[in-house]
Amino acid sequence: MEKIKGKRVSDGIVVGKIFFYSKQPQKVVRYKITDIACEIQRYESAKEEALIQIKALYDRMLKEYGENDAKIFEAHTMLLNDIDLNESVHSLIRGQSVNAEYAVAMTADKFCEIFDNLEDEYFRERSKDINDVCERVIEILGNNDDKDKISEPCIIISEDLSPSETVQFDRKHILAFATEKGSSYSHTAILARMMDIPALVRIPINEAWHGKNAIIDGENGFIIIEPDTATLEYYIKLSKEREKQKFYLHELIGKETCSKKGKKINLYANISNTYDLSAVKNNDAEGIGLFRSEFLYLESKDFPTEDQQFMAYKMAAEQMEGKKVIIRTLDIGTDKKLPYYETDKEDNPAMGYRAIRVCLSMTEMFKTQLRAIYRASAYGNVSIMYPMITSLDEVKEIKSIVAEVKKELEDSNICYKNVEQGIMIETPAAAVLSDVLAKEVDFFSIGSNDLTQFTLAVDRQNDKLSRFYKPQHEAVLRLIEMTIKNAHKEGIWVGICGEIGADIELVDRFIEMGIDELSVSPGMVLPIRKLIRESEK
């Protein structure tokens, strides 16, 4: 028996045989061509065939999992039609007289480098989309389509899996995924969660595992190869218990999130992308408490236009069908840097030029985002919150800019609804000033991750300091309680959108403090609802 630790990205426990999926490597050889027009046409034909294949995958996802999950392949279509990408391929073929395969491979490398150099893990994963579509074109150009076939339910082990490969597997043959590469932000991880199957990443894989019995423990992040009888029996029993628990949790769908003493908590979900909307709905979140808008900026080659942002916010508003959608304005800086907007190197970037400080320095960019959000408000229940607030002056400056945006929209006869204005309490300064700030806004959302690091003077990105980073520290909890009291004195509501909101040990204490809303990852909605409904507070 061999027990190996990885990183869990989708919970669950399964027992089954391993299928080692080994994708045939794309061998791209550079050679000189003489007929440039013919080579460009060869590329264009392969691209058209790739678009047909992607459309088929989109249709399959649409039928099996719904529109929101299918948008992964809508994004692939947009990438393959991207002007810059196609111009790069054409330019290489013309300028260097090289074959189309080589031009596509070099273009993929160039574009992936932009994303791979980003520090934020979620956005680094987007380079896989570029690789996926380019490899598809190269495969068509080389007539290489001898993918392995799977004919029975199994645990799929692979070095890595692209979204296309993940979806092409027959759903009834997939028990779980385990890959050597990838992260919790990869599309494969997202699809695993949507498909509700266990998944692990960062497993040191071995081709010799093919055909062997194994256990995937998605809750603790283990794969167990050839388990002994006692281990096998234990996990079979545990799997049955988990299925019962999941069944009982699903019975909470549609139920009110209310403690035994009648305290109602609005239980919302955090999302990083419109891809996450189906998970929000499937887990019956009562709204979106944190829509991280920066994904639009980090996935773009330039500042996204008003219309591009509007479409994303509108989609979220419509999909949530009247439930609250709280959009956080652009929060870049520290580990989230834009490849097309250079800033000075900082010794302490977490306390530097970031979040609202960027927006108040780049007011036209800020107004573009605000206009997009206000336009989207006509299609649902939209609110805005502003990150990294430290002073009353910042709030007043924001309100002045918002007034300008509303007037611009009115002058252009563009409809919008009343939009609640909130601020994030994620600095000790904001918490201490919460009695004053509460007079100026409609709600507070406590960003416990930053509040913890600033209160405890612990860089949360520094692994050496992880044992000193304690969200349950009494100083942090006192600041949260003070913020709630000050907000309620002024008649505004308070939520928590940081990781601490899903801390099962603190649910009762938050209820006692009088918290109005908790925003957690979609998968934690039902477990937290269960705890709140069982609470005596």
d(CA 208, CA 206): 5
Closest to 449 (Cα-Cα) out of 380, 535, 521 = 521
What's the token pair of residue 329? Answer: 């304005």
Within 10 Å of residue 386's Cβ, how many Cβ atoms?
24
- Residue 187: active-site member: yes
Q: Which helix (H) or strand (E) holds 493?
A: strand 493-496
d(CA 374, CA 420): 11
d(CA 427, CA 405): 27
d(CA 114, CA 363): 26
Closest to 390 (Cα-Cα) out of 449, 437, 452, 458 = 437
Closest to 288 (Cα-Cα) out of 9, 6, 521, 25 = 521
Secondary structure of residue 527 in the 3-state scheme? helix
**Active-site option among 112, 134, 187, 359:** 187
Within 10 Å of residue 240's Cβ, how many Cβ atoms?
11
Question: Cβ contacts of residue 385 below 8 Å, gap of 6+?
Answer: 326, 327, 328, 329, 421, 422, 423, 424, 443, 445
Count the helix, strand and coil residues of the chain and give each as a percent rounded to the nearest 5.
50, 15, 35
Q: What is the 3-state secondary structure (H, E, C) of 95-161?
A: HHCECHHHHHHHHHHHHHHHHHCCCCHHHHCCHHHHHHHHHHHHHHHCCCCCCCCCCCCEEEEECCC
d(CA 132, CA 137): 9
d(CA 62, CA 94): 38
Question: Cβ contacts of residue 33 below 8 Å, gap of 6+?
Answer: 39, 93, 97, 98, 99
Residue 204 near residue 146 (C-beta atoms within 8 A) = no
- Residue 76: active-site member: no
Give the CA-trace dihedral at 525, 530, 534, 537, to 10 degrees. Answer: 0
Give 433-437's long-range contacts (Cβ < 8 A, gap of 24+).
Answer: 433/391, 433/392, 434/482, 434/483, 434/486, 434/487, 435/486, 435/489, 435/490, 436/392, 437/389, 437/392, 437/395
Residue 129 near residue 76 (C-beta atoms within 8 A) = yes
d(CA 446, CA 423): 8
Closest to 337 (Cα-Cα) out of 357, 362, 355 = 355
**Active-site option among 112, 134, 154, 497:** 497
Strands 222-225 and 199-201: unpaired
* Active site positions, annotated: 187, 497
